[in-house]
Structures are given as structure tokens and as C-alpha cells.
Amino acid sequence: SQTIHQWPATLVQPVGSPLSLECTVEGTSNPNLYWYRQAAGRGLQLLFYSVGIGQISSEVPQNLSASRPQDRQFILSSKKLLLSDSGFYLCAWSVGDRGAETQYFGPGTRLLVL
């Protein structure tokens, strides 16, 4: 069966520090991968998605970046965190028929920037 892992689970970082969040998927090949951010009490915002190794699409311009060095690994990074980067970061994967694609989410990383 497929599983998705995210780490760390919780992170407290000072403003201006770098960030690296990791997501890995097991039990499937060539998944589509996604990074979302959920600000406190709000909905989900798609940040990046990837349909293959080295292929990254950005949905929202900001100081975050994403990379996919391996088929089932997706990394979210920042060189300098801002206060507004605080939130709950969710990774998701999908495979499936076009028009009926279901996304499966990881447990999330809670980031607090102080």
C-alpha cells in the first residue's frame, strides 16, 4: 500500500533562517506531487506541483522553492523565512485517470516563524 511521510512534524524557526521540509512517498511510481500551505483557520493554498523528476510548477510567487531530486521525494525550501511563512504545510501525491484524480495527503509539518 502507498504511504506518504513528511518531516519534521513541527518546526520553530527564526525570521531570516533557511528552511527545508521533506516529503517522500512509498508504494507507487511516478506520482504527481504537491505542496500546499494552510494558514491558521484558513483553506489550502497550492504552492507547487510536480509531474516528474526535476519538473516543478509554481502556483504562487514567493520566497519558497521546491525541488524533486528523486521520483518519490519532494522538498520545500526557503533561503530566508518570513513571518508570513508560518503555517501548516501539507504534501500530497496522486495518480489516476484524468478528471477523477484523487490526492492523498501526508500528516503535515507545522511551521512557526518567530
Partner 1 sequence: GNSVTQMEGPVTLSEEAFLTINCTYTATGYPSLFWYVQYPGEGLQLLLKATKADDKGSNKGFEATYRKETTSFHLEKGSVQVSDSAVYFCALSDHNAGNMLTFGGGTRLMVKP
Which of 18, 107 has the CB closer to partner 1? 107
Distance between CA atoms of residues 73 and 56, nearest Å? 12
Tell me how far, at minimum, the Cβ of 30 lies from partner 1, in Å. Answer: 14
- In which region does residue 35 sit, left (phi positive, over 0), alpha (psi from -120 to 50) or beta (all else)? beta
Tell me how far, at minimum, the Cβ of 87 lies from partner 1, in Å. Answer: 13
Tell me how far, at minimum, the Cβ of 79 lies from partner 1, in Å. Answer: 26
Binding site for partner 1 (CB under 8 A): 6, 32, 34, 42-44, 46, 49, 90, 92, 94, 98-108
What HEC string does 23-64 produce?
EEEECCCCCEEEEEEECCCCCEEEEEEEEECCEEEECCCCCE
Which of 48, 72 has the CB closer to partner 1? 48
Which of 7, 17 has the CB closer to partner 1? 7
Which of 14, 61 has the CB closer to partner 1? 61
Tell me how far, at minimum, the Cβ of 16 lies from partner 1, in Å. Answer: 28
Whether 80 contacts 67, CB under 8 Å: no
Distance between CA atoms of residues 19 and 76, nearest Å? 8
